[in-house]
Structure 1
Amino acid sequence: MPSSATGTDAVQGSRTAVKMTLLTLTMMVVGSMVGAGVFSLPSRFAQETGVAGALIAWAIAGTGMLMLAFVFQTLAVRRPDLDAGVYAYAKAGFGEYLGFFSAFGYWASACVGNVTYWVLIMSTIGAVWPALGDGDTVLAIVLSTFGLWAFYLLIRRGVKEAAAINRVVTVAKVVPIIVFVAIALFCLDTSVFADNFAGADYAGSLFNQVRGTMLATVFVFLGVEGASVYSRHAERREDIGRATVLGFLSVFAVFASVTIVSYGILPMAEIAELRQPSMAAVLEAAVGTWGMVFVSVGLIISVLGAYLAWTLMAAEVLFVAAKDDDMPRFLRRSNSADVPVPAMLMTTALSQVVLVITLFSDDAFNFALDLTSSLSLIPFLMAAMFAVKIMVRPDELTAGTGRRRDLVVSVVATLYTAFLLFAAGMKFVLVSFIIYAPATILFAMARREQQRQVFSPAELVIFAVSIAGAAMGVTALAAGWISL
């Protein structure tokens, strides 16, 4: 095994990448999607909507995300020359700078998402160890930091070993969620369910109720693109699309069920006030303390598995972007176990920074969750728009049967993702700009290494917009117009 990121490291390309089967790729998708979000769904939805709004929200989210899954499936087949899906599609469709932003935004969303996992673990343990609070105390941050770097050392051992661990963890973490749904259905009180159907007085109009749940649904579906990110590891190219759709369909019904059955256990207002993980508290109300313990153990297994999968995917995006000269060259180095160690180090370091920032947030978990969703929307939107572009103007790679169907799917996915940006609201758009704008330093480093002009005229305009957005975000935070 290598002892460091240097010396034994080599530029990827001189070795054959570790190959993954359809089952392993599907498990990567499921492992990425089933993480912290599902355990927070009861409270997150009850804060915004009742049963009717939840059903509509899941119908919209399920349709939109299924279309997005089909987009990734279509692009994997029609553009087999593109690796690391989300990033590669944006670059091919809209140029190097927006491709860079897509890569960085997707990577940053994964890093912020990883923070939600540690916050939720500490909040779960905090139910019996008050010093950890809601996962945002100094002690919780210290313990989370140990966890961050322990996983960094584990993943350095190799993609193959980490993927094997992910397969085992994925099976182990799905079982408690299914048991929760079964018990909640058995204990469901139809009168409570009926009272929660229209929503509480605080929920507002049905449109606002549905809109308020959108970022939560995005968060739980993040990872649907996991197989596309690992396209260079697929044994067969067609397995990428199959794994994407299989992974999505296998978890969608579970996510929706967890939300809906909870409305039959407690009044909506009480669910909204539950501490996270709210799924544990709902089961405790149904069957007693053992229910909370059961879900809490399942949560810790689930979150650690999702953290493993997301850290792998985040590092892979930086690695492939560097390989394509869109990130600095130091990020293209990997060790003898096929692990991009510098990219892994940067991933863990950004998660560490965001973890410290949660100390200053009013609601660490929900802030990190919503920011994760917002950062991922730009990469998703550009991937969907790229699919529209190649369906409207096909070339020798993308022409073929089924183009009209793929065009409709791509348009629906684009409209859905654009609606999500609207639902996110200006707060998270501005905070996203604060993260995006400084990232241009990496883009400039890559251009300088190639002895190229840093910006073309069009890229300079995009850079100016990002700087203006970041300045507005900083001003809004300083003036108190928005808060973390």
Structure 2
Amino acid sequence: MTAANVEEQATRPPAVSLPTLTAMVVGSMVGSGVFLLPRRFGTETGVIGAVIAWTIAGTGMLMLAFVFQRLAVRKPTLDAGIFAYAKAGFGDYVGFNSAWGFWASACAGNTSYWVLIMTTTSAVFPVLGAGDTVIAVLCSSVGVWLFFYLILRGVRQAAVINRIATVAKVVPILVFIVILLIMFKADYFTDNLWGGDDRSFASIFEQAKGTMLITVFVFLGIEGASVYSRFARRREDVGRATVFGFLGVLGVFALVTLVSYGALPQSELAVVDQPSMASVLASVVGPWGSVFIRVGVILSVLGAYLAWTLMAAEILYIPATTDDMPRFLAVTNRHDAPWRALLMASGLVQLLLILLLFTSEALDFMLDLTAALALIPYLLAAAYALKLTITRETYGDRRNLLGDTVIAAVATFYTLFLVYAAGLDKLLLSCMLYAPGAVLYVIARRERNLRVFTPAEAVLFGIIFVGAIAGVVSLATGAIEI
């Protein structure tokens, strides 16, 4: 469930046209990650690798968007969030882990917002460094608990903030693309084609694979496209809006990446300060370009933080109302804010901020962790859609069966590839966050007097627990560096 769904679930909105619906889909997908693309791609690959990466990401993510859209239509009763698909398809404990992993991903993403705010303002206050200094962590912590207090007081309807955030992120992106296209340097672009001396397919593929987690991060929220099915004036507009909106966003992300290769050599792109869009624009037009982008970043990220903090609380609150999480998380205050769920979400952000003091690349680490944690919930949703086509559930008339099978299969294969691309280290770190969640699962099951684990679920818990122990040992021995 996205923040937009949280805000609108109580009322039935008026039907909207295809252009408006497309704009809503675009708004759900464009976030803070786009401001970081030039450096992340410059670090990993050249132009050809970037084109391959966006082709893979574009195809896979579009199929994933279609999966969510089709699940929303075929399983309209499963409206409790992304975890409901995993629960319906693979059981209670798998569904719980999907909710827990998506919640942890939202919290890690919120942590990355504070790192980005601090590193963005470090141009004025150098003491903030890359967002991982003691002062930066203290300032971020104040922000976390200030937002916690504001939401407790009932700051849930954030229409004005969202409008400001939308303008703040769209205008700088468009200005960036237009200016860099006008001042495009073909010699830089040509020199950046291959991303290195090795021009073999294996080398280019490895380069492209290195960008996969950032492509996941920038598309986080893609499940929100399915939410807008209830807004549509005509049912067929949902699929069209999903395609048009997604292709527009993909085009923007790809353009931001590619025009940057025409502004600086790749070796310089790889080391510019984040937000790298600001640094790249400043290299072309001077200091005002950096200021312009940085102001947009801060306004955009603050709006996104509010929305995702609300969503992080709802990810725990909604399962608690259906007894999939402990009942204490369903408690709300007099302002109708789920304060215990909100406290847990803010608490995890606080712990992750402290962890930043021990990382070498705070922003990149948190971006990758956010994406890695979201992979399992996405994989389970895609696998559930594939399961429906295999079992023919909801496909008794066989309408759209072949097309939906292809879509679900591609989405499942793509998310499996992402798990592989993330690497063993991210998988073990994810296990370290998944394993403690079993405590809440045990509490929830005992509250309902249900058996905690089936034999298969016990095996799954054992695998997660072993992975968590391996992650701890790897961190302690230096086998995994953060």
2-structure distance, mates of 1:326, 1:52: 46
Alpha-carbon distance in structure 2 between the residues aligned to 1:192 and 1:207: 22
CA distances 1:94-150 after superposition (whole Å, capped 9, x unpaired): 000000000000010010011111101110111221100011111111111121122
For 1:418 and 1:348, locate their aligned partners in 2 and report how far apart those are by CA, in whole Å: 30
Name the amino acid aligned to 1:372. Answer: T
TM-score, normalised with respect to structure 1: 0.90
Task: Please identify, of 406-415 and 324-333, the stretch whose mean Cα deviation from structure 2 is larger.
Answer: 324-333
TM superposition shift of 1:284: 0.4
Contact 1:230 1:313 (C-alpha < 8 Å) held by counterparts: no
> Of residues 119, 138, 142 in structure 1, which corresponds to 2:138?
142
Closer, same or farther: CA 251–331 of 1 in aligned 2, 3 Å: same
Q: Give yes or no for the alignment of 1:340 onto 2:338.
A: yes
Q: Which residue of 2 aligns with 1:360?
A: 358
State the AA in 2 paired with 1:479. T
Separation (CA, whole Å) in 1 of partners of 2:240 and 2:13: 13
CA gap of 1:193–1:369, structure 2 versus 1, over 3 A, is same
Q: Retained in 2: the 8 A contact 1:169–1:305?
A: yes
Matches of 1:20 and 1:423 in 2, distance apart?
40
Q: Contact 1:109/1:371 (CA < 8 Å) preserved in 2? A: yes
Instruction: From 425, 431, 440, give the equivalent of 1:433.
Output: 431
Gapped runs of 5+ residues in structure 2? 1-8
Query: What do the CA deviations read for 1:441-467 (whole angstroms, capped 9, x no partner)?
Result: 000010111112211211111111111
Shift of 1:32: 4.9
Aligned to 1:418: 416
Q: Partner amino acid for 2:442?
A: A
Per-residue CA deviations over 1:42-79 (Å, capped at 9, x if unaligned) read 00001110001001100110110010000000000000
Structure 1 residues 335 and 54, CA, compared in 2 at 3 Å: closer, same or farther?
same
Q: CA deviation at 1:169?
A: 1.8
The answer to whether the Cα contact below 8 Å between 1:29 and 1:223 also exists between their aligned partners in 2 is no
- How many residues are aligned here? 469
Q: Which residue number corresponds to residue 45 of structure 1?
A: 41
* Amino acid aligned to 1:17: A
Match of 1:287 in 2: 285
Q: Give the C-alpha shift of residue 434 in structure 1.
A: 0.5
The match for 2:306 is 308
Q: Which amino acid aligns with 2:408?
A: S
Corresponding letter in the other structure for 1:316: E
> 1:240 and 1:338, CA in 2 relative to 1: closer, same or farther beyond 3 A?
farther
Supply the AA of the counterpart residue of 1:251: V
Instruction: Tell me, yes or no, if the aligned pair for 1:32 and 1:310 is still in contact at 8 Å.
Output: no
Q: Specify whether residues 329 and 226 from structure 1 end up closer, same or farther in structure 2 by C-alpha distance, changes over 3 A only.
A: same
Is the partner of 2:82 in helix, strand or coil? helix
Aligned residue in 2 for 1:206: 204
Taking every aligned residue pair, what percent have the same amino acid on both sides?
57
| Corresponding position of 2:380 | 382
The match for 1:77 among 60, 73, 77 is: 73
Q: What is residue 95 of structure 1 aligned with on the other side?
A: 91
Of the three residues 32, 35, 52, the one matched with 2:31 is: 35
Match of 2:111 in 1: 115
- Specify the alignment match of 2:390 in structure 1: 392
Aligned residue for 1:162?
158
Relative distance call for 1:160 and 1:354 in structure 2 (3 A) is closer
Deviations 1:298-357 (A, max 9, x none): 111121122122222222221221122110011123346554332222111111111111
Q: Which residue of 2 aligns with 1:17?
A: 10
The letter for the 2-side match of 1:129 is: F
Instruction: Tell me, in whole angstroms, the C-alpha distance in 2 between the residues paired with 1:144 and 1:20.
Output: 36
Distance between the aligned counterparts of 1:313 and 1:21, measured in 2? 23
Q: Give the alignment partner of residue 180 of structure 2, picking from 184, 191, 195.
A: 184
Per the alignment, in what secondary structure is the counterpart of residue 411 of structure 2?
Answer: helix
Q: CA RMSD in A?
A: 2.6
Aligned to 1:3: none
- Cα displacement string for residues 133-175 of structure 1 (whole angstroms, at most 9, x for unaligned residues): 0111111111111211222233345575125532442233211
Pick from 129, 148, 152 the counterpart of residue 152 of structure 1. 148
Cα distance change of structure 1 residues 272 and 130 upon mapping to structure 2, 3 Å threshold = same
Q: Deviations over 1:386-440 (max 9, x none)?
A: 0001112123587552121111111000011000000000010000001100110
1:249 CA drift (Å): 3.5
Q: 2:82 aligns with which of 64, 77, 86?
A: 86
State the distance in 1 between where 2:54 and 2:15 align. Answer: 27
- Cα drift, residue 210 of structure 1: 0.6
Asked if structure 2 preserves the Cα contact closer than 8 Å seen for 1:152 and 1:344, the reply is yes
Q: Tell me the amino acid that sits aligned with residue 147 of structure 1.
A: G
Rounded Cα–Cα distance in structure 1 between residues aligned with 2:198 and 2:335? 54
Give 1:470's aligned amino acid: A
